[in-house]
Amino acid sequence: MRKNLGAKAYTYPQPVFILAAYGEDGTPNAMNAAWGGISDDKELTMCISASHKTTEDILARKAFTVSMADAAHVEACDYVGIVSGTKEPDKFANAGFHAVKSEFIDAPLIEELPIAVECRLKSYDPESCRMVGEIVNISVDERVLDENGKVDVAKAQPITFDPFNNTYVVLGATVGRAFHDGMNLKK
């Protein structure tokens, strides 16, 4: 038996992305966004409204970073989603974040969050709130790499947003290899 929930923006998992950009005065700003993902092999698409200070900053600088929120910084990541940059100009610092200038774009990396996608703005449609960024670089802190130089999800501990229960969930357990284990369905 199924229960119908109606038309809602519920998919699972929804990555918790922290978008960051520099303001007009060079102050770093960040916001929490769960509606986004890869839309082409070198493209990331986000749904963020024009009313956000971070959107304004991204449009002005034509660049932004998208960090993966993690379990160790869940409070800070939630904070930048609750507090408005238009009302609290130091919310980046108040969250406990430290900015590191990207080598590739005019946007800050968040030192505390180990995985980031560095993007150059391709387009923004204020009606649909669709923002598209060209992926210029992926930056990964070595502390979350395994002995083979690959990201170890158990070390990175990315979080996802659970829209059904309005909670954050930690990822980390490997249950199989993609495009491999399904080959063994016949017993």
* CATH code where residue 103 lies: 2.30.110.10
SS3 118: strand
Residue 7 maps to a domain:
no
Domain total of the chain: 1
Q: Per-residue pLDDT for the chain (187 aa), expressed as one digit of tens each? A: 999 989 988 887 889 999 999 999 999 999 999 889 889 999 999 999 999 999 999 999 999 999 999 999 999 999 999 998 888 889 999 999 999 999 999 999 999 999 999 999 999 999 999 999 999 999 999 999 999 999 999 999 999 999 889 999 998 777 677 776 655 555 5
Taking a C-beta distance cutoff of 8 angstroms, is the pair 58, 21 a contact? yes
Query: Nearest-CA neighbor of 113 among 154, 70, 60?
Result: 70
Residue 136 maps to a domain:
yes
Residue 181 maps to a domain:
yes
